[in-house]
Amino acid sequence: MSKNTLKHLAIIMDGNGRWAKNRGKSRVYGHKKGAEVVRDITTFCSHHSTIETLTLYAFSSENWKRPKLEIEFLMKLLDNWLKNELENYNKNGVRFVPIGDITKFSSKLQDRILSTQKKTKNNRGLIQFLALNYGGRAEIIDAVNRSLNQGKTVITEDDISNNLDTSYSDIDLLIRTSGEQRLSNYLLWQLSYSEIFFTKTNWPDFTTKELETIIENFKQRDRRYGGV
């Protein structure tokens, strides 16, 4: 019998641009293909026997440094993706919740994000947190400020945990694709005792079969939480 139960999975979806470049295509081609993989992985997780939460790093607060045309494409892709995915969200019982500062997006895109959240709020299956204009340090600072606004004078770990965008749920397993081995300012608080798996597979090539293999690896790891 396995030691570990995977309830909260987080993924840094990296490698869209490299995948496209390797095929002589533009970076936006890779982002489009990557969006299709998001659908496959979300559907898989929604039917998994133990996974309750899936958190995906879609757009970081540092991604604004990318070329303007690429950012514009990503915004349009996100808008269309949410529009087209609403049926799948409801079909699979997925509750969509954005995390990060979406006020930097256009009013149209903000409306799409909030509308999707509202239209899926009663779904009781998988929770999908989608990190949009998100930064881990900013999330912790916001949690501290929320605690102060609640009248706290001495802030505890529980105060910060309860005021995070994810409403506090420790990450059991973090996967980063494309071979890069860093956290990139992602879920810094929630990853304190997470298992981390780096795969060289670029995100557009990532499959549910590889995910299953990683989950089996996770189940066999010895999670000591600082003990022996």
Question: In the chain, pLDDT over 70 holds for what percent of residues?
Answer: 95
**Distance of alpha carbon 46 from alpha carbon 174, whole angstroms:** 17
Average pLDDT of every residue of the chain = 93
- Give the pLDDT band of residue 226 (cuts 50, 70, 90): low
Q: Once rounded to an integer, what is the mean pLDDT over residues 166-183?
A: 90
Q: Once rounded to an integer, what is the mean pLDDT over residues 4-12?
A: 95
Q: Once rounded to an integer, what is the mean pLDDT over residues 174-194?
A: 95
Q: What is the pLDDT of residue 169?
A: 74
Crossing angle (nearest 10°) for helices 68-91 and 27-46: 20
**Distance of alpha carbon 51 from alpha carbon 55, whole angstroms:** 11
Q: Once rounded to an integer, what is the mean pLDDT over residues 148-167?
A: 92
Q: Is the pLDDT of residue 2 over 80?
A: no
Q: Once rounded to an integer, what is the mean pLDDT over residues 123-148?
A: 95
Domains of the chain, by residue range, sit at 8-220
Strand runs labelled E in 94-138: 95-99, 127-134
Residue 63 a catalytic site member: yes
Q: Is the pLDDT of residue 143 over 90?
A: yes
Q: Once rounded to an integer, what is the mean pLDDT over residues 72-93?
A: 95
Strand runs labelled E in the chain: 8-12, 53-60, 95-99, 127-134, 173-176, 195-198
**Distance of alpha carbon 123 from alpha carbon 38, whole angstroms:** 19
Q: Which residue out of 22, 40, 63, 159 is catalytically annotated?
A: 63
CATH class as words, domain 8-220:
alpha beta
Q: Is the pLDDT of residue 192 over 70?
A: yes
